């Protein structure tokens, strides 16, 4: 019986991930479109309320701001999981296979600090008006999550990860100028990164992603 924890088994799983790069491009391009659309919509709604006209008769409060983006994250995660599951079914595989588990294990450490920081923000951090700190943590660790998949993810996803990480690193330099020019820096950053970056990725990779998905090849055996 093969040992699922052996080096040979681990390498075989990695090889399978690498061989399916284009399949992951398919799912991620479509998930990026959904994430970008939801993020742009949320950022626009918050920005209009805070900077143009008070739809809520007040500014969006810190915990409301964080909750709105967690709702966007929830629906994006549901959509992404659905797309990945459909890709697995198309290939004649189970969604919760060893490749999926290895990919999740790879990105999981990058989610610990954002989760802890978000919990702290809802508990007491919001009292200090630290929405920008929260946003920078989210952007930076999302970038690190994408970069953690460098061994098996398409190059476009890695470039997207660098775009997120460098954007987070640039905030201390550009914060004052952004606040002077447009205001609502946390909202604008979320709209630019999770919104515009994802839409740009989807636009640049949609045609490439459509090919394998529409090739009509029969699904692989289980």
In a domain, 2, yes or no: no
Q: Supply the mean pLDDT for the chain.
A: 81
Structural domain harbouring 91? 16-213
pLDDT digits (tens, 9 = 90+) for 17-39: 555 666 666 778 888 999 999 99
> 144: which 2 tokens?
């690190």
Gap between the Cα atoms of 40 and 64, Å rounded: 17
In a domain, 130, yes or no: yes
Please answer whether residues 60 and 50 qualify as being in contact, where contact means their C-beta atoms are separated by less than 8 angstroms: yes
Please answer whether residues 149 and 106 qualify as being in contact, where contact means their C-beta atoms are separated by less than 8 angstroms: yes
Domain count for the chain: 1
pLDDT at 55: 79
In a domain, 156, yes or no: yes
In the chain, the percentage of residues whose pLDDT exceeds 70 is: 75
In a domain, 77, yes or no: yes
Gap between the Cα atoms of 173 and 175, Å rounded: 6
In a domain, 20, yes or no: yes
In a domain, 220, yes or no: no
Write the DSSP symbol of residue 127: G
Please answer whether residues 111 and 145 qualify as being in contact, where contact means their C-beta atoms are separated by less than 8 angstroms: yes
3-state secondary structure string across 184-211: CHHHHHHHHHHHHHHHHHHHHHHHHHHH
pLDDT digits (tens, 9 = 90+) for 49-76: 988 888 788 889 999 999 999 999 999 9
Gap between the Cα atoms of 107 and 151, Å rounded: 12
In a domain, 6, yes or no: no
In a domain, 32, yes or no: yes
């Amino acid at each position: 019986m093969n040992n699922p924890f052996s080096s040979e088994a681990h390498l075989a799983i990695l090889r399978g991930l690498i061989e399916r790069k284009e399949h992951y491009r398919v799912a991620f391009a479509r998930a990026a479109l959904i994430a970008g659309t939801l993020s742009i919509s949320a950022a626009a709604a918050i920005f209009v309320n805070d900077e143009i006209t008070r739809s809520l008769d007040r500014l969006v409060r810190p915990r409301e701001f964080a909750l709105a983006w967690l709702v966007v994250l929830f629906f994006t995660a549901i959509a992404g999981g659905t797309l990945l599951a459909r890709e697995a079914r198309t290939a004649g595989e189970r969604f919760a296979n060893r490749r999926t588990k290895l990919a999740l294990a790879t990105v999981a450490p990058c989610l610990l600090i954002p989760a802890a920081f978000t919990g702290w923000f809802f508990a007491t951090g919001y009292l200090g008006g630290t929405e920008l700190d929260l946003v920078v943590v989210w952007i930076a660790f999302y970038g690190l999550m994408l970069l953690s998949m460098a061994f098996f993810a398409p190059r476009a996803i890695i470039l997207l990860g660098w775009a997120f990480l460098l954007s987070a690193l640039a905030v201390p330099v550009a914060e004052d100028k952004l606040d002077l020019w447009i205001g609502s820096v946390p909202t604008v950053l979320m709209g630019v990164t999770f919104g515009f970056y994802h839409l740009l990725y989807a636009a640049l990779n949609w045609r490439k992603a459509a090919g394998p998905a529409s090739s009509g090849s029969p699904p692989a055996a289980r």
